[in-house]
Each structure stands twice: as structure tokens, then as C-alpha cells.
Structure 1
């Protein structure tokens, strides 16, 4: 289905471009959204905000992982000298610690992904407004955000990034 819609979109764009070929004022622009995510100041600020917000939790989880690995290594070294009941008790403890670590890591990842999505959505909304503003100001007829290939002369990503940075 996606292939059909992509082909349809491509055919529609080509038909539109062909019909406008006679009209010299048909203007197409392309925006590379990934560059905006990497280069715009608001994207960098969002990344810094996420790092500040989640940095401590990430370090805590890394420390917990190190503790767990250390405890497992210690158990492996000491297991031959432990009694059966001690070995079983320590194994249970390690399994419980591993389960708790996995739970905390999963919760952290879910929280981080949710916040990244929120920040990304805000950035996309701001970028789309700027793209529309640039398109209207410079009288573009069509702006594409994804293309397999686009001639660099149609790329307006730098203009959008500059406008985003200026708006902040």
C-alpha cells in the first residue's frame, strides 16, 4: 500500500510539474527534516534539555548495571566454595536484582522515548510553521519534506534552519 501511495504521489508531482512546465514561475522547494533535527538550535536545545532531565537516571542505571555485573562476577568466583543453601540464596538474590534492573531500565527507556517524542513533535510543528512562512514569503508552489533525490538548487533547508534559529 505504501508503495502505491508513493508511486501515486510521485506521479502527481510529476504531472503537476509537467503541467506547470510552460509556466516559468512554478517553484519547488525541498526540506531535509533530518538536517533540521541535527542542526537547528531548537533541536540542540531540546537534546540538551533531555540530557539534563534524564542524565542522572541514566547514570544511576549504568551504576546499577555495574553493581549487578560485579555481584554476578563475585558470585561466579565464590560459588564453588559456598554451601548449597548459600549458593541458592545468592542466585535468587541475583535474579531479583537482575529483574529490578531490567524493570528500571525499561521504565527509563519508555520515559525517555515519550519525552523525545514530545520534543520532536514540538520541533516538527515549529519547523512546519517556518517552512510555510518561507514558502509564502518566497512564493513556492510546492515544498517536499522527503525525496529520493532533489537537485540541491531546490533545497531550502538552510533557509528554514536560519529562520528557526532566528525565531528562538
Structure 2
């Protein structure tokens, strides 16, 4: 490689044809910048790249609900999520509740649906003075003690449906 003296003009070689367009533009600008008829105020590529770009507003989706802000609100949301999870949690195959009319209940949501259409005869077989199969199933299979205690006090299908709706809604 030959060393250039300070008083010698720099020789710029033509870029090969395989060079990317940006590199070709750099070579062309350096060739043009040395021309005496052009203004010396041509922007350099580095200046163009570093110049600030206009900021455009970004459309942000507004949340439909306020997020909880206090620890109490967060605790309440967590409890609600746990209740919904319990509503949808499926019992292990050997722990399903089989009703007198043959319906098989796999989760608490099934119980809530079955209570709506259940006959009084079927309900009275499972809930009476001696036992409450629904409360026992909720307590022993899903470990929902608070809900089971509420269901124990129910004496009708309507009361049980109301208790389930209040607990989960």
C-alpha cells in the first residue's frame, strides 16, 4: 500500500458493481463534494442518519377497565380469579359427581347448570336433612370450604343457584 503525501490529491476508485447502493452513494458524494462548482453545504450521510426524525403519535389502546391500584384491590382481583378457576377446574375422573338422573358433573359450572334443570326429586335425594352431596363434593373435591359452607345452608335449588351465582359473579 502506497502512502499518500499531504500535497497529493486523494484518488478515489470506482466501486465494484457488487457494492451495495449505500456504499456507491458514499463514493459518489465524496467525488461530488470535492467539485468546485457545487456548494460546500451538501449534507453528509452521517448528518442525515443522525438528524432527528419527526415523532408521530402512536395510537395506544385504552384499557376498558381501570387496573387495580391498591393492594386491597389487587387482593380482591386475585380472589376473584381463584374463584373463577375453581368454577372451571375439572375433578379427577374418579371424583365426578353422578346424579340420580344419570347426569355426570365434572366441575362446579356443571353443578350450576344442572341445578337449573334438575327435578325436585333428584335435588331432594342429594340435599336433605341427612346430607348435602353438593356441599360435600365442593368441599372435598375442589377444596372450596367457604362455598361449601354457604351451600350447606341452602334448602332449595333456587337458593343454591343464587349462592353459586353470587360466589362466582
Whether TM-score is above 0.5 comes out as: no
Q: Which TM bucket (shorter chain)? A: under 0.3
Q: Which has the higher contact order (CA 8 A, sep 6+)?
A: 1
Where is the helix percentage greater, Structure 1 or Structure 2?
A: 1
Specify the structure having the higher radius of gyration (Cα). 2
Q: TM-score, normalised by structure 2?
A: 0.26
